[in-house]
Amino acid sequence: MTTVSLARCESYEARPVEAALLKVLEPLGGITQYVRPGDRVLIKPNLLSARSPEKRVTTDPAMVRAVAVMVKEAGGHPFIGDSPGIEPFRRVIAKTGMEDVAGELGTELVELSHPRKITLAKGSLFRSLEIASQALDADVVINLPKLKTHTQMLMTLGVKNLFGTIVAQRKTEWHYMTGLNRDTFASLLLAIYQAVNPALTILDGVWGMDGNGPGNGNPCRLNLVAAARDAVALDATICHLLGITLESYPLYRVARAEGIGETDTRRIRLEGDPPDSFAFPIFRIPKLDSLSVLPGFLDGFSKRYLVSKPVQDSKICAGCKECVQACPAEAIALEERHLRFDYEACIRCYCCQEICPQGAIGFKKGLLLKILNRFNR
């Protein structure tokens, strides 16, 4: 049996966060089960972009602070690290409150910026990966994700948070190489998860995000902190608690097929606060349509007419060009504050929507999704 631990936490004030962390880690043996005196411990939050904590885009600094304090009390040497995809690291850590946490605790704050090539085991879909050496060299990695929806992968939870150990622009390259297949991208995420091998995953779900996450969804209060050694089991549990059909979650499908982590919810033991003590609101998840519905020679027709596509809201677009820079397929151009999308080149990764600071990129449903919605599929 695999254990996933749950605890209620109703605010980001120091005492409730500390109490929730102690409670959620108790069934897992406590922090000293993972951190020994002298260990160099990477705390890996979600630092997607330069947004204030109230936007609920990034892991709350209160969670990072409390985990870092626990690591120190166990005799470890914590450092906070991530690699934002587009925006400068200095801007991200200042806006998200991480710089204040590091300064207050005297804790090192590191941009994951030095990739190292590693060879993957036989049978992997990928031969090798380049992962930030700071993550590979840490004695312990504590994974600290945010509970959010994701317009490409349905949810971003424990496993996907480790995509941040891929250095900066290489994220864009991987988005392009995995193309239209969500299961291929899920296989990549699982390969990264296995390579980084976090000792512990602690999920910040006090406030989460639903709708069109991970960057421009709707903040929603869930009062939840969750923890597990097995991030796959944690992710499956959270989806189950939120009423998400596991088969619709690409990462779950691939983890089950590849035998990574525990995907059988009957073999996941829940500890801590019981699930029925959480009054989850109606949680709005993105509608994912198929990206490969016709033979390859009709791919252009499929992408132009059948599947959903990103569109600009010109009324709120600031013309910052961050979407242009983020697009791995180079399928966006800005002409006099008007975005021009090359839908045949677009790989539907929705990085443009994810990174837009104004929330000025939305979706136009394709014919396929309209039909599926019509029949409640």
pLDDT of residue 292: 44
pTM of the model: 0.86
Per the CB < 8 A criterion, the answer to whether 99 and 112 are in contact is no
Per the CB < 8 A criterion, the answer to whether 361 and 309 are in contact is no
Confidence of residue 352 (pLDDT cuts 50, 70, 90): confident
Establish whether the linkage from the previous residue to 214 is cis, with ω within 30° of 0: yes
pLDDT of residue 307: 64
* Residue 257 reports pLDDT greater than 70: yes
In this structure, what token pair is assigned to residue 100? Answer: 């204040």
Q: Is 337 helix (H, G, I), strand (E, B) or coil?
A: coil
Q: Which of 24-33, 100-109, 122-131 has the lowest mean pLDDT?
A: 122-131
Q: Which of 52-66, 155-169, 231-245, 359-373 has the lowest mean pLDDT?
A: 359-373
Question: Tens digits of per-residue pLDDT, 277-332?
Answer: 988 889 999 877 544 444 444 445 445 555 678 899 988 899 999 899 888 889 99
Per the CB < 8 A criterion, the answer to whether 304 and 39 are in contact is no
Look at strands 146-150 and 154-156 and give their pairing.
antiparallel
Amino acid at residue number 230: D
Average pLDDT over residues 46-74: 97
Domain residue spans of the chain = 2-277, 296-374
pLDDT of residue 306: 52
The partner residues of 220 in beta bridges, in order of sequence, read: 208
Class of domain 296-374: alpha beta
Average pLDDT over residues 163-189: 86
Please give the sequence-ordered ranges of beta strands (E in DSSP) within 167-289, or none if there are none: 200-210, 218-228, 268-272
Q: Which of 158-167, 172-181, 359-368 has the lowest mean pLDDT?
A: 359-368
For 2-277, CATH number?
3.40.50.11440
